[in-house]
Homo-oligomer: A and B are copies of this chain.
Amino acid sequence: MTEHSLWRFARALHRAINEHQFDDLAAMIDDNVEWAVYGPIDMFPFLGARHGKTAVLDVCRQIADNVRVHRYERESIILGEESASTMMRYSLTALDTNRPISLRLAQFAQFRAGRLVSMRVVVDTFDLVEQALGRAIHLPKIA
């Protein structure tokens, strides 16, 4: 039984973000990859949709330039044959402000022949925005 592509991809991604070593990641990304991290792109230009290996490696470099990962915990994992979903909690530092950020997200990855062909990520973005701002946003109670 061979190792699921998720584990190899996760190692490559974290190596890219924290060590700025992109070779392993580049080797695992399909030329026609579809990539989307849903969130406010006005504040975080490295969120949003990307198509193709060059664009995805480029956005991973932007992420690496903006955050440092200290810890992550996988709270839920479901593996398909060539797919994987994980709910994760990250402890990061935002490098521009040096602010600690604790982030919850869910990622859905699809692989083909060991390469990433699709990645979609949902982030608890309101929590992210408040932490990146360093202050609470006042909200009315609606219910």
Contacts and interface: CB of A to CB of B under 8 A. Distances in A.
A143 interface: yes
A139 interface: yes
A108 interface: yes
B76 A84 contact: no
Contacts of A124: 38-39, 122-123, 125
Interface in A109-139: 110, 120, 122-129, 132-133, 137, 139
Nearest to A143: B66
A27 B104 CA distance: 30
A56 B132 CA distance: 32
A54 interface: no
Nearest to A132: B142
A106 B126 contact: no
Given A66-B142, A78-B79, A96-B142, 16 more contacts: A39-B124, A39-B126, A40-B127, A45-B141, A62-B143, A76-B83, A76-B85, A76-B108, A78-B85, A85-B87, A106-B106, A106-B108, A122-B122, A122-B123, A126-B129, A137-B137
- What are the nearest 4 A-B pairs in CB distance? A106-B106, A125-B126, A85-B85, A43-B139
26 contacts: A38-B124, A39-B124, A40-B126, A42-B139, A43-B139, A43-B141, A43-B142, A44-B142, A45-B141, A45-B143, A62-B143, A66-B142, A78-B78, A78-B80, A85-B85, A85-B87, A85-B106, A87-B106, A87-B120, A94-B142, A105-B122, A106-B106, A106-B122, A122-B124, A125-B127, A126-B128
